[in-house]
Amino acid sequence: MLDQAQQLLKSYYGFDSFRPGQQQVIEHVLDDANTLAIMPTGGGKSLCYQIPGLTKSGTAIIISPLISLMKDQVDALVSLGISATYINSSLSTSEQQERLDQLHQGHYSFVYVAPERFESSSFLRTIQSMKLSLIAFDEAHCISQWGHDFRPSYRSIVQTLSTIPNLPVVMALTATATDQVIQDIRRLLAIDEDFVVNTGFARDNLAFHVVKGRDKQRFILDYASDRKLESGIIYTATRKQADQLYEFLQAKGFTVGNYHAGLSEQQRKQAQTAFIQDELSIMVATNAFGMGIDKSNVRYVIHYALPMNIESYYQEAGRAGRDGEPSECVLLFSGQDIQLQKFLIEQSPMDEANKTNEYKKLQAMINYCHTDHCLQKHILEYFDDYSLQEDCGNCGNCQHDIEREDVTKEAQMVLSCVKRMGERFGAGLTAKVLKGSKSKKIADFGFERLSTYGLMMKTKEKDITNFIHFLVAEGVLSTGDDRFPILKLTKQAADVLKGEKQIWMQVSRIDRTEELDFSEALFEELRQLRKQLADDEQVPPYVIFSDASLKDMSRYFPTIKDEMLSIKGVGEKKYDKYGEAFLAVIGEWVDHHDVEPTKMPQPEAPSTIKHETTSDEPSHMITYHLFQDGTPLREIALNRNLTEQTVTNHLFKAYKDGNDLQWDLFFNEEQEMLILEARESIEEKKLKPLKDSLPDDFSYTMIKAALVKNEIL
């Protein structure tokens, strides 16, 4: 049976090995044991019910709360050559009836339905008259009233199911489940403890960053300009913020959409479709956007303002990188945002106990912004997930490539100004005093006589205001809980004024240190072909091939069928449908460019070996030993299901722990010297300018390696 599962994985999906947890789930279901799968977003839950559905005879019923997703999911299955359909309220009565008839005749291997469908007697009659292979509850947390998205209609299915004589094996899948929710799901669906497969929530392709003390619009402009071809979502806290940022980015020439509850349904739908179809690269949105978005190639999610808690942050940020490719999650932090969130809690109709709880969650969110430790680990520990044994190696705090500047002197200026103004005013007026403004209000209070008047006259007033907000975020100033925030010194302020505590501020931008090991130009051509095919078939582009597949093609330049089939995500059916069109473009490209076809990837080792976690050895040491044994980086990455960046970070960590490393595999003496000299000669001691100042064939990995060896990084 399992062999067959492995074959299906290759022939239909074009994948060589299972992701963590998939195989166990499939095994349980094939053994007819009710099963609960808890895996992160993008972990590959769909495959867990699809492969058993293909293996067992009969039709699989997939229950999903997200009507908007059903069509895409069905399109994806159909594009793999699998017969599937959906029945929901978006169809006319006659369409529904037609599909029911076909279902009855056993035309479909899969049918997607919303929970309400189980209230329809014709549907119930139909499914009782046919052979069912399995019933899967996708987004199973909706079944529990302890979950954050409880749907009573979900729960009432349980009762209905108990009356079905031909009830098949039942499975539940979710990416968010606390212990309480897990117990609830298990009890309701009769799932034995032994058949709970929980892989934890870690997302090793996501790099988390917190950016403080920066002009947000400016940051976004730089950031998005560096990533013009990529898809990203920017979440704002309010509709007004969304509108402003949308207009700003549009004026700067970006293809950008806007999405919030204040727009008409049609406007929202249009924006969403254009984004999914890769026609817009950026979506600016409030948290109204995202449920039911399965777009797999979102490369970054930026939070323009502080989210209200870590639960929603992780869910929203988690929409990046579903295809497993390296992606970034950036939170832009400023002290003002805390005020806004507190205000929203105060204004909400919750009772006092719930408000206190919300304040606690908000505080946890603020703590995340201030931690010096691994950001991914911080989030996981918040969810009581201790499965990540070591730091992620990818986040802003692990990378340490964010440069900081000592701003203690400037902080002292602000603090003493606030003190002299009697701790009775807000950031705006304080900034005016420091700037030395001639405004009437200042004269009214006689502030031009303060010794701090004009102390920061060389700085723009707006920057001074931002800096004050930064000091609030740092906790040396507080603004109280009032509607109109008044600056007061905190206990820590005294230490700063006495020179006993230093204040540091981030200054660098987030560099794209991911090394491009594929041809961007070819990738772009393949994307265009994909877009054209997607438009012809009216499906989202990612349904045809994921970005991960296109990147692989632009890396290995397959020119014949066999080579194409060894590309990740290209199975037999996909090849039959699209293979030749893509081969043609690649062939043409190879003819006109001087490329040396890279060796095709070797099939990965079976997953039972790959994901063995029985040894107590920390993950970075497993990587280290493989490397020392002579396994190439790329192969370690493939076999361990990690990005190459993570693998190199593992090695650097092992070195920092005191292990020897074979540096000559990264650079030779001459190259090392050049890197060190170049670093001396540049002003901004950051990776990107350093890379720019060196010959093109000096990769980021090589440069980083030289810096690590010389204990600069």
Q: Which residues bind ligand ADP (CB under 6 A)?
A: 15, 18-19, 22, 39, 41-47, 296, 322-324, 546
Instruction: Identify what 55 binds: ligand ADP, Mg ion, none; CB under 5 to 8 Å per kind.
Output: none
Indicate which of Mg ion, ligand ADP, none lies near residue 28 (CB less than 5 to 8 Å, by partner kind). none
Q: Using the minimum distance from each CB to ligand ADP, give the nearer residue, 140 or 431.
A: 140
Q: What is the CA radius of gyration of the chain?
A: 28
Nearer Cβ to ligand ADP, position 45 or 679? 45
* Residue 25: contacted member of Mg ion, ligand ADP, none (CB under 5 to 8 Å, by partner type): none
Please choose which of Mg ion, ligand ADP, none residue 42 contacts, taking the beta carbon within 5 to 8 angstroms, the exact cut-off set by kind.
ligand ADP
For Mg ion, give the closer residue by CB, 82 or 497: 82
How far apart are the C-alpha atoms of 455 and 413, rounded to whole Å? 7
- C-beta nearest to ligand ADP: residue: 44
Return the number of the residue (375 or 543) whose C-beta is nearest ligand ADP.
543
* Min CB(646)–ligand ADP separation in Å: 16
Choose the contact partner of 19 out of Mg ion, ligand ADP, none; CB within 5 to 8 A by kind.
ligand ADP
d(C-alpha 102, C-alpha 360), whole Å: 52
Nearest-CA neighbor of 574 among 48, 18, 82, 57?
A: 82
Q: Which residues of 165-184 are buried (b: 16+ CB within 10 A; e: fewer)?
A: eeebbbbbbbbbbbeebbeb
Closer Cβ to Mg ion, 212 or 319, answer by number: 319
Other Cβ atoms within 10 Å of 597 Cβ, number:
12
Contact present, 529 and 588 (Cβ < 8 Å): no
Which of Mg ion, ligand ADP, none does residue 566 bind to, with CB < 5 to 8 Å depending on kind?
Answer: none
Binding partner selected for residue 639 from ligand ADP, Mg ion, none, CB under the kind-specific 5 to 8 Å limit: none
Number of H helices, E strands in the chain: 34, 17
Q: From the CB of 600, what's the least distance to ligand ADP, in Å?
A: 17
- DSSP letters along 657-702, please? TT----GGGT--HHHHHHHHHHHHH-SS-SHHHHHHTS-TT--HHH
Q: CA of 95: how far to CAs of 71, 74, 90, 222, 514, in Å?
A: 14, 16, 10, 49, 48
Report how far apart, in Å, the C-alpha atoms of 293 and of each of 248, 323, 571 are.
Answer: 25, 13, 24
Binding-site partner at residue 44 among ligand ADP, Mg ion, none, CB < 5 to 8 Å by type: ligand ADP
Selection from 305, 257, 247, 245 nearest residue 281 by Cα: 257
d(CA 116, CA 66): 12
Nearer Cβ to Mg ion, position 13 or 425?
Answer: 13
- Write each residue from 419 to 438 as x if it is in contact with Mg ion (CB under 5 A), else as -, in one continuous string: --------------------
Tokens of 494: 């005294």
Q: What is the smallest separation between the CB atom of 138 and Mg ion, expressed in angstroms?
A: 6
In the bound state, the residue with its beta carbon closest to Mg ion is 45
CB of 47 to ligand ADP, least distance (A): 5
* Residue among 425 and 582 whose Cβ is closer to ligand ADP: 582
Determine the Cα–Cα distance for residues 349 and 208; give it in Å rounded to an integer. Answer: 33
Judged by CB under 5 A, the stretch of 41-49, 52-60, 364-372, 399-407 that binds Mg ion is 41-49
Indicate the residue among 78 and 221 with the shorter CB distance to ligand ADP: 78
Task: Please say whether the beta carbons of 383 and 203 come within 8 A.
Answer: no
In the list ligand ADP, Mg ion, none, the entry touching 39 (Cβ below 5 to 8 angstroms by class) is ligand ADP
**Of 81 and 689, CB closest to ligand ADP:** 81
Stretch that binds Mg ion, among 42-50, 281-289, 398-406, 694-702 (CB under 5 A): 42-50
Nearest alpha carbon to residue 225 among 537, 512, 453: 512
Query: Which residues bind to Mg ion, rule: CB under 5 A?
Result: 45
